Structure 1
Amino acid sequence: MSIKEIATQLKLSVSTVSRALNDYPDISPSTKKRVLTEAARQGYQLKDVDTAHWIQAKRVITAIIPHQEDQYLDPILSKVLAGTREALQAAGYLLQVAAIDTGQQELSEFERFVKAGDQEGFLLLRTRVNDPKVHRLLKLNVPFVCYGRTERAAQFPWLDLDNYQVGRLSFKHLYEQGHRHIGVASVSERYFFAKERLRGIQDEALQHGIELQTEDFLHLGFDEEQTYIACAEFLLQRPKISALICLTSTGARSAALAVLRLHNTAHKVEVVGCDTPLDELSASLGITSIQQAPPQQIGQQLAQMMVARIRGTQVKELQVLLSPGVVTPEFAHPYNSYDNNQ
C-alpha cells in the first residue's frame, strides 16, 4: 500500500497524509486519527516501530512561478531562487521550479502538482490578487510560503516588500529631486505587488498636489524586447517627462536603455526601478533602485520560512514585511546605503 492510495481513499492530499503519518503538529488530531485508521486498515507498515513514524514522502519543495509571455524568470526571481535552492539544500530538501500559465488552465495545471504528492510544501512567487493557488492550498492544509501577499494574507506565511511604501518612496524621491513631470511604467494590477505600488505612487503624488493622468501611465508586460520598444515610444510621445517610475526590474532596465539611446545629456530622464537589484548593469544605466535586500538573501529567508512551516511553526510567526530604501547608482555597493525617509 502507498501513501497515495490512503490519500485517495480519504480524499486528502498526499502531503497531508504524509504529514499526519509523521505526526506533524499542524495536522489536526481528527485528521491524524482518520489517516492512522485507514493506514492500519490497508496494512501500511511503520518505518520504525520504536519511533512510531511512518515512511515519509520525498523531501521536495516546489516553487510555482507564473508564466508570462516569452519570459517567466526575470533577474530578480532567478537570484531569489538561487538563494532558496542553496538554503533548502543545506536543510536536506530539493527545490523544483515549475512555471504555470495564468490563464483558464492555471488551477488544473497546479492541481497536477498538488495531487502528485511528491513534495513537502510549495513556494508561491509573484502572487496575484485573489490568487486561486493560495485558496486551494489553504483548503487542503498543505504547507506553503508566498513571496508576496494576497487579500487573505492573514491566513498564510509570507515574505514581502512593503510595496505600498515602495510606491510612495519612489515618487517622493523624484519629487525631492525637483521632478514634476513623472511617468509610471506599470504592469497588470492582477499582481498584488503592482496594485500596492501604484496605490502608493498615487497617494504620494496627491500629497504633493499632483494628480497623475491616464496618459502618464505606460502599461507593460514582461518581455524585454517589447518592453524596450514600448518605453522608447512612450518617451518620444511625451517629451516633457523628466522621470519614469518602473514597477519591475525588466521595465526599469528597458526604460533606462531607451533613455540612453534616445536622449542626450541636456534632456536626461531619471529612471527609478522598484525592487530592481542595483548590480553593475543597473548602476551603469543610471537606475535608482527602491530595494530592501539582496535577492539571494531573500531566497534564503524564504527557504528558512518554508522549513519552519513544515516543522509546525505558526502562521503568524512567519509573516515578514520588509522596509524599502532608496539606492542610487553612485554608491559602489548597492546594499550599503539607504535613504529611508518615509
Structure 2
Amino acid sequence: MNLKELAALLDLSTTTVSRALNGYPEVSVATRERVVAAARRHGYAPNQVAKRLATGRTLAIGHVIPLARHQMINPLFAEFISGAGETYSIAGYDMIASVVPEAEETEAYRTMIAQRKVDGILVHTPRLLDTRIDLLRDLGLPFLAHGRDSRPERDYCWIDINNRRAFLRATDLLLDLGHRRIGFLNGMEHLHFAQRRRSGHVAALSARGIEPDPALMAHDEMTESYGYESVFRMLSLPDPPTAFLASSIITAFGALRAVSELGLRLGADISILTHDDDLSHMPNSGAVPLFTATRSSIRAAGRRAAEMLIALIERPETAPRSELWEVDLTVGRSTGPRN
C-alpha cells in the first residue's frame, strides 16, 4: 500500500496523512491516532530510499545503552523501545542501538554523530545533572530526553510524567487511609525521576506534620528481589510500616511476595500502592485491579517520544519541545484503612 491508497482508504488528503504520520502539531490527536492505526493495520511504510535521496538524511535514530547495573535493560526499557519502534517504522526510520561499557558512552555518541549514522538521538533515564545533555547540545544533533535532569527545562527537549505530583497523590491516599508509617521503595536516586518521586512523597508527609523516617526509605534498582528484601527488612523494625509505596510494579510484586510469606493479608494487614507503567506482559487490570496504582503507559511514552524527536529532526522551528504527562490514580485491592 502506498501513501495515496492509504489516504483514499481513510478519506483524507495525502498531505494530512503524511503530516499525521510525521507528528505535525496541526493534525489533531484523534486524526493522528486513526492514521497511525490504519498504517499499522495495513502494513504501510514509506519508501525509505526515495526519502533518503530527497532529504539527505540517514532516516535513523540512535540509542546508546551503557552496560551499567542501573540501566533499564528490563521490561520497562523493552516496553518503551517497542512503542518508539512502532513510530520509527511507520515514519520510515530505522533504530540504531549501541550497547557499550558505561565508560565508553560518551565516545559512542561522538562516533555515532561523526560517522553520520543517525539523524537524532533519544536519551534514556537522565541523571541529576546529565553531562550527556551538554555533550549532545554541543555536538549539534537533534536529541530528546525521556525524562528530565535538574537544569532549566527550557534548555533541551524532553518528555516526562509528573513524578512529583504522582507520588504526592499516592502518599496522600495512604495518609487518608490512616497510614502514618509508610515504607518507600524508590528507584536509584542519582536518577532524576527518583529524586522527583522522593520529593513528592516527603512533601505529602511534611504537609501532615510527619517527619520522614530514613529507616522507611530505600532506593535501588527496581527489581522484584529489591522489593522482597526491603519489605522483609522494614517489617522486622520495632515500629514497622503499615503500608508501602513502590516505584515500580516489578518492585511491588516483590513486596507482595514478602507480605504473603509473612502471612499478612494484602489490603487488610498491609497496604501496597505502586507506580504502574502499564506493562503489556504484566498487566494490572481487571474490574478491580490487584494494585492501587499511579498509572502511565510507557509504551505510549515511547511512541510519543519518537514522534517528537522525528518532528524535531524534520521541522525544528515548529516541533514541540517538551511534554509533561499527568498520571491516573486507580484504586485496586492492595490498599485499605490502617488496622
Corresponding residue of 2:134: 135
* Unaligned 5+ runs, structure 2: 1-48, 335-339
| 1:268 equivalent in structure 2 | 269
Give the equivalent residue in structure 2 for 1:5: none
SS in 2 for 1:159: strand
- CA drift of 1:254 comes to 1.9
Where does residue 339 of structure 1 map in the other structure?
none
- The answer on whether the counterparts of 1:276 and 1:289 sit within 8 Å (CA) in structure 2 is no
1:147 aligned onto 2:182: no
Residue 118 of structure 1 deviates from its aligned partner by: 0.5
- C-alpha distance in 2 between matches for 1:225 and 1:78: 19
Contact 1:253–1:287 (8 Å) recurs in 2: no
Amino acid paired to 1:274: H
Report the residue type matching 2:170 in the other structure.
Answer: S
Distance in 1 between the 2:104 and 2:228 partners?
29
1:77-99: CA deviations, max 9, x gaps?
A: 22121111011110000123344
Deviation of the 1:252 alpha carbon: 2.3
Query: Deviations 1:301-323 (Å, cap 9, x if unpaired)?
Result: 11110110001234883210111
Q: What is the TM-score normalised by the length of structure 2?
A: 0.73
* Counterpart residue number, 2:311: 308
1:305–1:254 CA distance, 2 compared to 1 (3 A) = same
Question: In 2, distance between residues paired with 1:282 and 1:101?
Answer: 34
Q: Could you say which residue in structure 2 is the equivalent of 1:184?
A: 184
Q: Structure 1 residue 270: deviation in Å? A: 1.7
Are the structure 2 counterparts of residues 105 and 71 from structure 1 closer, same or farther at C-alpha, using a change threshold of 3 Å?
A: closer
Find the counterpart in structure 2 of residue 78 from structure 1.
78
Count of paired positions = 280
Paired AA for residue 174 in structure 1: L
Pick from 302, 313, 332: which aligns with 1:299? 302
Aligned mates of 2:57, 2:114 — CA distance in 1: 13
Which amino acid in the other structure matches residue 295 of structure 2?
Q
How far apart are the structure 2 equivalents of 1:317 and 1:71?
A: 27
Cα displacement (A) at 1:197: 0.8
User: Matches of 1:84 and 1:300 in 2, distance apart?
Assistant: 4
Following superposition, the deviation at residue 139 of structure 1 comes to 0.7
Q: What does residue 113 of structure 1 align with?
A: 112
Superposition pairs of residues 180-259 of structure 1, within 5 angstroms: 180-237=180-237, 240-259=240-259
Q: Given the two structures, how large is their TM-score scaled by the length of structure 1? A: 0.72
Supply the AA of the counterpart residue of 1:218. Answer: A
Asked whether the 8 Å contact 1:185–1:217 carries over to 2, the reply is yes
For the 8 Å contact 2:275–2:295, the answer to whether it is kept is yes
Determine what percentage of the aligned residue pairs are the same residue: 21
Determine the structure 1 residue equivalent to 2:321. 318
Q: Aligned partners of 1:328 and 1:278: how far apart in 2?
A: 17
Q: Distance in 2 between matches of 1:70 and 1:130?
A: 16
The Cα of 1:193 is off from its aligned counterpart by 0.3
Q: Which residue of 1 aligns with 2:294?
A: 290
2:236 & 2:68 partners in 1: Cα distance? 27
Task: Please give the secondary structure, in 2, of the residue aligned with 1:253.
Answer: helix
Report if aligned partners of 2:86, 2:303 keep a CA contact under 8 Å in 1.
Answer: yes
SS in 2 for 1:298: helix
Q: Which moved more, 1:189-198 or 1:179-188?
A: 179-188
Structure 2 CA distance, aligned partners of 1:202 and 1:330?
25
**Larger deviation: 237-246 or 76-85?**
237-246
Displacement of 1:166 after TM fit?
Answer: 1.5
The range that moved more, 126-135 or 253-262, is: 253-262
Distance of 2:315 and 2:283 partners within structure 1: 41
Which amino acid is 2:310 matched to?
V
CA 1:205/1:232 → structure 2, altered by over 3 Å: closer, same or farther?
same
Structure 1 residues without counterparts, runs of 5 or longer: 1-46, 332-342
Query: 1:70 & 1:278 partners in 2: Cα distance?
Result: 19
Query: Which 10-residue stretch deviates more, 63-72 or 174-183?
Result: 63-72
